[in-house]
C-alpha cells in the first residue's frame, strides 16, 4: 500500500504516510516534515519509491525511512550519538539530527567520496546549520568498520544490505542501544534486522521484514581483488 503515499509536496507525502499508519509518532512526523525530501532526491522526491542518486545507488523509499526512524525512535533521544552507515543522499542524517537535538550528534558514513560530497551538498541546501554546528558530520570510510572515533553509539542505522552482521558495528553499539540493518546476499533473500544491546551488553536480534537493499560492499575484499587499487579510486565517480 505504500505507493499510495506518493504526493506532490513534502507535507502531503508525510500526511499520506501518517494516514496510512507508516508514520506513527509525533516526533518522527515532525522530523520528516522538517526535512524536505526535495533537497535529497533529484527527481520525483515525493513519490513513495526509491530514486536513483548516481553511483549505482538509490535514496530509499520514504516509507522505508519512516519505518527505520520509528524503529530507532526509542534511542533517537535528545543528546544521542548516532551512526548512519551508507548515508548516500544524507536524508536520514538530517532527520535523525532533528530528533537528537542540539546536544546530539549524527555521523554519516559512506565509502564513496562522491556520495559523502552529495550528502554534504544536499544537507547544505537548507540544513547547513547542522553541518556548521557539528551536529552532523559526514565521514568517508568503510562502514563494515563503523566509525570508532565517535563510538559508542546509541543508535546505528545501516542503509545497505550486509552479507552478515558486521562485528565492529555491534561492538560500537552502546549498552541500551539499537541498530537497524538489512542482512542478506545481494539480490537474494534479505531481512531487515533490529539488533538491541541491553544494559548488560547482551545482544538480541529481531527479524522485522523481508527487504531489498543495495549491498554493503566488502571494501577490503574488493580492494584486494582490484590488484591493490583503492576502492575509493574505483568507485568515487558518478
Closer to ligand SAH by CB, 143 or 177: give it: 143
Whether 60 is a known active-site residue: answer yes
Per CB under 6 A, residues contacting ligand SAH are 57-60, 85-89, 91-92, 109-112, 115, 142-144, 159-160, 214, 216-217, 219
Minimum CB separation from ligand SAH for residue 140, in Å?
A: 9
Other C-beta atoms within 10 Å of 17: how many?
25
Minimum CB separation from ligand SAH for residue 107, in Å?
A: 12
Which of these, 154, 136, 156, lies nearest to 144 by C-alpha position?
156
Please list, in sequence order, all residues whose beta carbon lies within 8 angstroms of the beta carbon of residue 196, skipping any fewer than 6 positions away. 177, 178, 203, 204, 206
Closer to ligand SAH by CB, 7 or 138: give it: 138
Sign of the alpha-carbon torsion through 148, 149, 150, 151: positive
Paired strand residues for 173: 153
Minimum CB separation from ligand SAH for residue 173, in Å?
A: 17
Closer to ligand SAH by CB, 31 or 115: give it: 115
Q: Which of 60, 103, 119, 133 is catalytic?
A: 60
Minimum CB separation from ligand SAH for residue 34, in Å?
A: 17
The CA distance from 195 to 203, in Å, is 7
Closer to ligand SAH by CB, 38 or 176: give it: 38
| Phi, psi angle pair for 35, to nearest 5° | -115, 100
What Cα–Cα distance (Å) separates residue 223 from each residue in 6, 139, 156, 162? 39, 19, 25, 17
C-alpha cell belonging to residue 61: 523509499
* Catalytic residue positions, numbered: 60
Amino acid at each position: 500500500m505504500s505507493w499510495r503515499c506518493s504526493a506532490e509536496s513534502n507535507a502531503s507525502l508525510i500526511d499520506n504516510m501518517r494516514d496510512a499508519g507508516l508514520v506513527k509518532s509525533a516526533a518522527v512526523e515532525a522530523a520528516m516534515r522538517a526535512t524536505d525530501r526535495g533537497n535529497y532526491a533529484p527527481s520525483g522526491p515525493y513519490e513513495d519509491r526509491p530514486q536513483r542518486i548516481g553511483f549505482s545507488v538509490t535514496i530509499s523509499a520514504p516509507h522505508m525511512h519512516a519505518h527505520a526512524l520509528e524503529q530507532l525512535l526509542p534511542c533517537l533521544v535528545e543528546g544521542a550519538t548516532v551512526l548512519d552507515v551508507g548515508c548516500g543522499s544524507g536524508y536520514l542524517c538530517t532527520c535523525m539530527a532533528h530528533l537528537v537535538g542540539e546536544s546530539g550528534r549524527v555521523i554519516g558514513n559512506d565509502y564513496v567520496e562522491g556520495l559523502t560530497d552529495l550528502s554534504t551538498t544536499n544537507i547544505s541546501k537548507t540544513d547547513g546549520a547542522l553541518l556548521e554546528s557539528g551536529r552532523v558530520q559526514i565521514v568517508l570510510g568503510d562502514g563494515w568498520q563503523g566509525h570508532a572515533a565517535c563510538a559508542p553509539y546509541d543508535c546505528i542505522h545501516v542503509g545497505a544490505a550486509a552479507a552478515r552482521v558486521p562485528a565492529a558495528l555491534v561492538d560500537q553499539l552502546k549498552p541500551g542501544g539499537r541498530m537497524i540493518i538489512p542482512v542478506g546476499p545481494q539480490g537474494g533473500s534479505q531481512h531487515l534486522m533490529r539488533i538491541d544491546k541491553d544494559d548488560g551488553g547482551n545482544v538480541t536480534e529481531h527479524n522485522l521484514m523481508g527487504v531489498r537493499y543495495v549491498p554493503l560492499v566488502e571494501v577490503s575484499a574488493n580492494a584486494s581483488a582490484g590488484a591493490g587499487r583503492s576502492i575509493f579510486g574505483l568507485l568515487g565517480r558518478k
